[in-house]
Amino acid sequence: MNILQVSAEYHPLLKTGGLADVTGALPAALNANGCDVRVLLPGFPAILAGLQEPTELLRFHTHGGAELRLLRGTLLGTTTVQAYVLDAPGLLDRPGNPYEDAHKQPYADNHRRFAALAWGAVQIAQGGDTSWKPQLVHGHDWHAGLVPACLLHAGGGQPLLPSVFTVHNLAYQGLFDVARFPDLGLPWSFYQVEGLEFWGQISFLKAGLHYANRITTVSPTYAREIQTPELGCGLDGLLRRRQSDLSGILNGVDGTIWNPTTDPLLPHRFGSNKLLGKARCKAALQIETGLHTHADAPLFTVVSRLTEQKGLPLVLEAVDGLVERGAQLLVLGNGDAHLEAAFLAKAQQHAGRVAVRIGFDEAFSHRVFGGSDVTLVPSRFEPCGLTQLYALAYGSVPLVRRVGGLADSVTDTQPDTLASDTATGIVFNHMDVGEFTHALQRAMALYRHPSQWDRVQRAGMRQHFSWDEAAQQYAALYRSLIPA
């Protein structure tokens, strides 16, 4: 099966969050399961810099008049995945964040930039590469949401190819003023309730949800949650109508990157059968971050975008109590300015016991997982979550809220799950500081019983959230849509 994957990010070349981890790992896993997957990416500077031996296939113009070149090559660091990249300096060659300017404001022409990505997919679907033609297009998140609509229009009312659209986070919808609609290259008939219209605006995400043949999201629980008014972000009615076309496939972990037995980014390697290296990683992490080097102080960590969605106000409310009980906290992330400032203030207040590093640092995140005892993920909602999967692999016990992919991947520590060696973390239910504090106390009590703690750590490290299983589910979905 020839599959074209369309996304805005691709690890290791460009990453602002978990989307890149997925789109970077899934193609190779699918290729190992009998697919021939190629990726289409926008020509952001980091993407173009990683494109090896580029060949120009064709040129075309956007409906705003910009000229684009469709390039084909191999991505740096991969040997099995071929890539198509849209080269359009006027649209895409900008420093820093691919979506926002230096003031964290979305670029005013984002609608044009990602409409161009959709029309690039159409060019490939129409035979833009004479040596390879896709049988199905798989788009990821709102940046690729226009792809199914463009395939339908280009096919004259019948899609050129079947499509799958994956929602990684329903809260990010790609909303634009209706005055921008003429820039998209679609007729006005697509701007209606049964189309791109969303409360008087254009929604790229809704386009994907409405026009794709099948919809997936990144965990079974989140697939159910987004059909509710509470987590449907105004799209729950549409998703309920399409529930027979909607499924959840839990993300995987790339074991070639996230494996404590082989990870070159760790100061000491370790595995589930030999945890001495983890204790050494903890000591090294405490020294690196200025925390007191107390081996018996439980080290709680946060590796996250600093946003309300991640439940971080709960962590802020609980910090003082954690420190009073002898624990430490390390935070890595960036995001909302008020949360950044609040965590930095806590680090100043509790020097040696709380440490904060603002920013995104992939290599440092490996050392955090390697050295931490508990990883906190108290999210308000969480489509899948990769943090808890990395934590499990690195023997950092996840403390999570029972939502989305967190509910699907972490088994709460209870007497029966301890007895059966299936407990892998601490789970709480409600966005309530009292319940969250109780979960922290449970984690600390478990930590004070080394034999039980050891069993939970090792059970978590034995979990295998491989991309192979997810790839098999995606491949089965593709087969159901591609004509025999």
pLDDT tens digits for range 182-207: 999 999 999 999 999 999 999 999 99
Q: Residue 201: how many CB atoms within 10 A of its CB?
A: 16
Q: What percent of the chain clears pLDDT 90, i.e. is strictly above it? A: 93
Q: What is the DSSP letter of 184?
A: G
Q: What percent of the chain has pLDDT over 70?
A: 99
Q: Does the pTM exceed 0.75?
A: yes
Q: Which domains does the chain have, with CATH numbers?
A: 2-252+467-481 (3.40.50.2000), 276-461 (3.40.50.2000)
C-alpha to C-alpha distance for 278 and 391, rounded to whole angstroms: 12
**83-92, 94-103, 454-463: segment of lowest average pLDDT:** 94-103
Show the tokens assigned to 156.
Answer: 């004259």
Mean pLDDT estimate for the chain: 96
Question: Does residue 462 carry a pLDDT above 80?
Answer: yes
pLDDT higher than threshold 80 for residue 484? no
Q: Which amino acid is at 358?
A: I
User: What's the pLDDT band for 95 if we cut at 50, 70, 90?
Assistant: confident
pLDDT of 65 reads 81
pLDDT of residue 79: 64
Q: Once rounded to an integer, what is the mean pLDDT over residues 250-269?
A: 95
- Mean pLDDT confidence for 299-307: 96
Q: Whole-angstrom Cα distance, residue 296 to residue 458?
A: 19
The tokens describing 262, both together, are 């082989």
**What is the distance between the alpha carbons of residues 403 and 101, in angstroms, rounded to a whole number?**
32
Six token digits for residue 106: 């979305």
Please say if the pLDDT value at position 476 is more than 90.
yes
Q: Which of 255, 155, 110, 142 is nearest to 209 (CA)?
A: 142
What are the Cα distances from residue 221, in Å, to 17, 33, 428?
21, 25, 16
Which pair of structure tokens corresponds to residue 144?
């690729």
Distance set, CA 324 to CA 18, 293, 297, 308 (Å): 34, 17, 11, 25
**pLDDT at residue 78 in the model:** 61
Q: What is the pLDDT of residues 157-178, one digit of tens each?
A: 999 999 999 999 999 999 999 9
Spatial CB neighbours of 98, under 8 Å, sequence gap ≥ 6: 8, 9, 14, 16, 42, 44, 92
The strand pairing partners of 167, in sequence order, are 217
Q: How far apart are CA 347 and CA 355, in angstroms?
A: 5
